[in-house]
Amino acid sequence: MADISDFAEAFEDWWAANGKLFLKYVSIPIVASLIGYGTNVLAIQMTFLPLEYFGVGEAFFHKWGFSLGWQGIIPSKAEKMARKACKMIMEKLMNLRDVFDRVDPDRIVECLQPVMRRSMERVLNDVALTHAPSVWTSLSFETRDELVTTVCEQSPPYIAAMIDDLKENIEDVLDLEDCLVEKLTEDKALINEVFARCGESEFRFIERSGLYFGFLLGLFQAAIWFVLKEVIKEGGIYPELPTWWFLPAAGALCGYATNWIAMWLIFKPINPTTYCGCVTLHGSFLRRQEQVSEAFALISAQRLLTAENCWERIIFGPQNHKMERIVAKHVKRAIDDQVGFIRPLVPLLVGTEAFLAAKEQAASLVFEEFPSMVHTTYDYTTEAMRAEEQLRTRLQALPCEEFEGVLHPVFEEDEWKLIAVGGLLGLWVGAFQAVFVFGEE
């Protein structure tokens, strides 16, 4: 018991003399760890937020290439990043013709049946009232209804042929890359979601690694600071040694290094590399190629490569005139076929110009009806396209060098900013420690 009491008394004497100083030095790796964590969390937030520019003087300072504000790296470069991602999808992951070849025209016709009658009734009524109003109004409701029924019954082969024609010319009719870029650019939260879900584990690693690397660097920082201040300066070896600069510099280095190490370990080495014959490193993002591929394929298929987006682009996009020509060709053929053997007499009955105008109007009206009809085909078309399956399998098969380009573009150009922010915050905290903890002037 005497030995223990002697030890306790000695410890109390030591703590009275050095306890406060000890706590100051212990605080260094703890603060360094917090700096590393905080700067890395901030780096992630600055990658995604805010969605829109927040700051002042953007227009004034723009001519000098900077501004007093910030917009998330991904939202600020949404179009450029979307273009890169979509280019990769179209060039390496998805063949548009292969995807649409899986769509069965007869199944499309089946999906359209529930809404076809209403649309055909509108088309027939408008054309008849425009070119033969007296004849149409003289017909009984039963006769008109029979005509609409006949048109609906005879339409399926022509609709199927039209879908076949669309599939054959899909690359001309559907500019899918521009469609995807437009969707991602318009909805910045969506492109954030794409990258966030693909890099979910990596972003968590960046945050947590700040704690680990910051603490380790803080230990070295505390040891060097002890030697500089307590041994060299206070010990009388070099009393005039200026030490005020060390903690701010070390804090800046800690903030900078933790961000840099985290970024490096995510994407490097691109291929598994063995160091010193025993340690094998491989970028964490690249190691997760299978899981990332699943996440990327799932969100792309659910939010981007949907039947709704494709049909919307086909009908309303900049190339919609090509789809309109396809519709017009098959509608006019259907009318000519239905006129049949009395076709030579039609110009005599209604006039050549009126007949041609009626066909043009019918084709135009059928195209106008498409938006109200194709929604019934979305479920089947999405199922038939199997976009998720194709994206997943091809993405998983990419070489590591190409797979790196899925997420790395988020950081590639602006990662220096994130690392620099870490260094700047570390500098401020280091200066705070120097002045308020260790009393440096």
pLDDT at 1 (0 to 100): 46
CA–CA distance, 98 with 164 (Å, rounded to integer) = 13
- pLDDT for 81-119, tens place per residue? 778 777 777 777 777 888 888 889 999 999 998 888 888
pLDDT at 57 (0 to 100): 61
Provide, rounded to the nearest whole percent, the portion of the chain with pLDDT above 90: 5
pLDDT at 107 (0 to 100): 92
List 70's β-bridge partners, or say none.
54
For the CA atoms of 416, 419, 425, 429, what is the dihedral angle to 10 degrees?
-140
- pLDDT for 134-148, tens place per residue? 878 887 888 888 888
List 55's β-bridge partners, or say none.
69
Give yes or no for residue 341 having a pLDDT over 50.
Answer: no
Runs of H (alpha helix) within 77-155: 78-88, 96-101, 105-131, 133-138, 141-154
Give yes or no for residue 275 having a pLDDT over 50.
Answer: yes
pLDDT-based confidence at residue 224 (cuts at 50, 70, 90): confident
Task: Please state the rounded mean pLDDT for residues 256-275.
Answer: 78
pLDDT, the chain, mean: 79
Give yes or no for residue 11 having a pLDDT over 80.
Answer: no
- pLDDT for 113-165, tens place per residue? 888 888 888 988 898 888 878 878 887 888 888 888 888 888 899 999 999 99
**pLDDT, greater one: 382 or 202:** 382
Give yes or no for residue 332 having a pLDDT over 70.
Answer: yes
Task: Please state the rounded mean pLDDT for residues 330-346.
Answer: 70
Residue in 327, 319, 338 with CA at minimum distance from that of residue 363: 327
Instruction: List Cβ neighbours of 51 (8 Å cut-off, separation of 6 or more).
Output: 71, 72, 75, 188, 189, 192
- pLDDT for 291-321, tens place per residue? 888 888 888 888 888 888 888 888 888 888 9
